[in-house]
Amino acid sequence: MNTVLKKFVALSALAVAMQADAAPYQSIVPAKSSVTFSYKQMGVAMDGRFKRFAAKVNFDPAKADQAKASFEVDLASVDAGSSEADDEVVTKSWFNAAAFPKASFVAKQIKQTAPNQYEVLGTLSIKGLTREVKFQMKHAAQGKDGVLTGGFTLKRGDYSIGEGMWAKFDVVANDIQVNFSITAQLSQ
């Protein structure tokens, strides 16, 4: 093979590889993803997670400013550590999952702040109340998948999570740390 042909083949292979890297992530892998939370109850650290959630993403790490993302969490899928806690947290005083079965997040802006690091601004809706949230997110490539991780502190009082006798923060703290690890797949 002559030198010109070898260079053409090499450049073509590089162009194909670059196009593959430029494809956006457009679906998530729920089995490899998680949404967890932690808080303090009577000063003791507690952890939980949500078992069911869905996301719509269109995220190219190289073009973060063009990204779109939305996320829904099935509030009745909560695992707060015991069946008694799971039953309590879906009641009207807490999530009121019968009237508001989903929590949702919609990204309004994603901007790169450093290599593989992004600032995400969006709206979080829980119990019919919507608030703006901002958080840091990291991206790590894992073969054809990408892992997006981040978290933020939710003030439960901002969303009326814990009403009536639970409205004070002496038993259950106001600050709830929400963390996520989302495995996303490239578009095909």
State mean pLDDT over 15-21: 40
Instruction: Kindly state whether residue 68 falls inside one of the protein's structural domains.
Output: yes
Q: How high is the pLDDT of residue 188?
A: 61
Nearest to 157 by CA among 127, 179, 136: 127
Predicted confidence at residue 143, as pLDDT, reads 87
The total number of structural domains that make up the chain: 1
Residue 2 lies in a domain: no
CA angle, corner 68, sides to 36 and 124, nearest 5? 45
CATH number reported for the structural domain that contains residue 164 in this entry: 2.40.128.110
Domain assignment of residue 18, yes or no = no
Q: Would the pLDDT of 21 be above 60? A: no
Q: How much of the chain, in percent, has pLDDT values that exceed 90?
A: 81
Mean pLDDT for the chain overall: 88
Q: What is the pLDDT of residue 144?
A: 87
**Residue 4 falls within a domain, yes or no?**
no
Q: Is pLDDT at 63 greater than 70 in this prediction?
A: yes
Listed residue (120, 125, 122) closest to 158, CA to CA: 125
Q: Give per-residue pLDDT as tens, 128-153.
A: 999 999 999 999 999 889 999 999 99
Whether residue 46 is contained in a domain is answered as yes
Is 5 within the bounds of a domain?
Answer: no
Q: Is residue 99 part of a domain?
A: yes
For residue 79, what are its two tokens? 């695992």
**Is 9 part of any domain?**
no
Say which amino acid occupies 25. Y
Which residues span the domain enclosing 163? 23-186
Confidence of residue 12 (pLDDT cuts 50, 70, 90): very low
**76-115: per-residue pLDDT in tens?**
999 998 999 999 999 999 999 999 999 999 999 999 999 9
